[in-house]
């Protein structure tokens, strides 16, 4: 007897295209794929829907511990499953920072029994913990090491090349990096203060700020032979540069940098559109799409970075950088699929297959016998309007409020259990630790 039988599914894979088959699960694992008619405790007819491997968001900020008035592990993961996400990797710029074994284990303890989706946490790389990183990066539920080369929210910062190199020399897993050049940010900070207008955000944190950091990062990566993952790439120049260094650097882009552009986003949304690195002009957005087309981009991550509306409404530059996105990643990207910007197969590659490959995730990211029974079921015909009242994040808003989209997550299934169906949350928080092979 199966636990769950998904009938008449269109299974989406990047390698074999879209396959029509049924999927059976037992004890949280995929046990059979094919024309199946055995008995099951739960049968779901998926006719007309697409089944994707559970979508993995490899960049979210959930604020626990330290700033739980913005978000916590419960609300952040609830927002994730509402948007069809089955696993998240959470960033270390919490308070205290996640830079030690104790801080990592504290997060794991907090997540157990409260996380609605599966989870892993990054360890922040610093001058102080550099020597310990080979040990820290191998701890359970650790997604790897994250480095901030430029200041953003929180106090995690690696300004100089010497420390960057020391971090890269210590350990073997791919290192995720926020690449903005701190020296240039400091030198030009007066631009933000004098202009006191959010339109100045991409002028202060300009193209060169990102390009210079990425240049330094690639050099350091070659010098140490360490694989790096450049998070939220925003400029045409970086994309051209990174196309040449695929052997050492992988690339992430976010849905917001693929969807919003300056100055329109600042005209419409003001400081709600403020994030680091910033949303830039349309020509950069177009270059990011080209990066997807020519396979330079390997991952789509949301950089979910919630702040309350009250905090965001402070006058620039007091307003904090970041916008929520874990719940809207999929609706926004499915809408881009319907608009012909990428195929559904490509989206599965960017948000399920590649997270598995690049981070060495165990048993997730594919629909294959023996893999975890995590699925994201989508209706490519469904037309909806994204609104703030649909958002489960504690911050309660989205930069896409009022946006009409086509393509919607209809069901989120974790370990063979349906946890979201037709916008309703079902059951208990059953998320568990993501495991790694690296
Ligand atoms: O805009 C941002 N906000 N960029 C980051 O890198 C951090 C994030 C946050 O944590 O608020």
pLDDT band at 47 (very low <50, low <70, confident <90, very high): very high
Q: Give the Å distance between the CA of 338 and the centre of ligand 1.
A: 29
CA atoms of 408 and 195, how far apart (whole Å): 40
Report CA(151)–ligand 1 centroid distance (Å): 9
Q: Which of 57, 72, 303, 374 is the catalytic position? A: 303
What is the percent of the chain where pLDDT is above 90?
A: 98
> Could you report the per-residue pLDDT of 311-364, keeping only the tens digit for each?
999 999 999 999 999 999 999 999 999 999 999 999 999 999 999 999 999 999
Ligand 1 pocket (Cβ < 6 Å) reads 61, 93, 152-153, 178, 275-276, 305, 321-322
**154, pLDDT greater than 90:** no
Please report the domains of the chain, with CATH numbers, ordered by start residue: 2-51+368-425 (2.30.40.10), 55-359 (3.20.20.140)
- 263's tokens: 């100055």
Mean pLDDT, range 54-83, rounded to an integer: 98
Q: Is 303 a catalytic residue?
A: yes
> What does the alpha-carbon distance between residue 274 and residue 31 come to, in Å, rounded to a whole number?
45
- How close is the Cα of 51 to the center of ligand 1, in Å? 31
CA dist 263 and 281 (Å) reads 7
Q: Whose CA is nearest to atom 4 of ligand 1?
A: 276
Record the tokens describing residue 117, joined without a space. 């989706």
In ligand 1, the atom with minimum distance to the C-alpha of 178 is 6
| Mean pLDDT of all residues in 271-281 | 98
pTM of the model: 0.98
Our separate counts of H helices and E strands in the chain read: 16, 17
The pLDDT assigned to 352 comes to 98
Element holding 251 (H helix, E strand) = strand 249-253
Distance 278 CA to ligand 1 centre (A): 10
Backbone torsions φ then ψ of 412, nearest 5 degrees: -115, 125
Residues in the chain, how many?
A: 438
Percent pLDDT > 70 in the chain is 100
pLDDT tens figures, 328-337: 999 999 999 9
């Amino acid at each position: 007897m199966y636990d769950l039988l998904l009938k008449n599914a269109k299974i989406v894979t990047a390698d074999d295209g879209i396959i029509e088959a049924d999927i059976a699960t037992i004890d949280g694992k995929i046990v059979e794929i094919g024309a199946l008619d055995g008995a099951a405790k739960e049968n779901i007819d998926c006719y007309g829907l697409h089944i994707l491997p559970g979508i993995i968001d490899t960049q979210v900020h959930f604020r626990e511990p330290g700033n739980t008035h913005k978000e916590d592990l419960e609300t952040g993961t609830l927002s994730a499953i509402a948007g069809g996400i089955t696993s998240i990797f959470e960033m270390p710029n919490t308070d205290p920072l996640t830079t030690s074994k104790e801080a990592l284990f504290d997060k794991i303890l907090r997540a157990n029994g409260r996380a609605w989706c599966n989870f892993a946490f990054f360890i922040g790389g610093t001058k102080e913990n550099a020597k310990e990183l080979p040990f820290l990066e191998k701890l359970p539920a650790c997604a790897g090491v994250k480095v901030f080369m430029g200041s953003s929210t929180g106090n995690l910062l690696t300004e100089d090349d010497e420390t960057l190199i020391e971090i890269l020399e210590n350990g073997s897993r791919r290192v995720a990096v926020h690449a903005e050049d701190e020296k240039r940010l400091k030198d030009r900070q007066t631009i933000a203060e004098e202009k006191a207008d959010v339109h100045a955000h991409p002028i202060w944190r300009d193209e060169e700020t990102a390009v210079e950091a990425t240049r330094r990062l690639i050099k350091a990566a070659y010098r140490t032979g360490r694989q790096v993952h450049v998070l939220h790439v925003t400029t045409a120049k970086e994309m051209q540069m990174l196309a040449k260094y695929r052997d050492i650097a992988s690339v992430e882009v976010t849905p917001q940098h693929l969807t919003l552009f300056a100055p329109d986003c600042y005209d419409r949304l003001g400081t709600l559109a403020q994030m680091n690195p910033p949303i830039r002009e349309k020509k950069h957005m177009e270059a990011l799409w080209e990066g997807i087309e020519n396979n330079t981009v390997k991952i789509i991550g949301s950089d979910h970075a919630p702040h309350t509306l009250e905090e965001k409404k402070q006058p620039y530059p007091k307003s904090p950088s970041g916008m929520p996105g874990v719940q809207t990643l999929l609706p926004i990207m499915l809408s881009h699929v319907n608009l012909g910007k990428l195929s559904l197969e490509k989206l599965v590659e960017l948000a399920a297959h590649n997270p598995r490959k690049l981070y060495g995730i165990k048993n997730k990211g594919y629909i294959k016998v023996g893999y975890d029974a995590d699925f994201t079921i989508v209706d490519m015909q469904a037309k909806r309007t994204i609104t703030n009242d649909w958002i489960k994040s504690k911050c309660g808003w989205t930069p896409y409020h009022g946006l009409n989209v086509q393509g919607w997550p209809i069901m989120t299934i974790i370990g063979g259990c349906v946890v979201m169906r037709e916008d309703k949350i079902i059951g208990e928080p059953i998320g568990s630790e993501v495991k790694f092979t690296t």
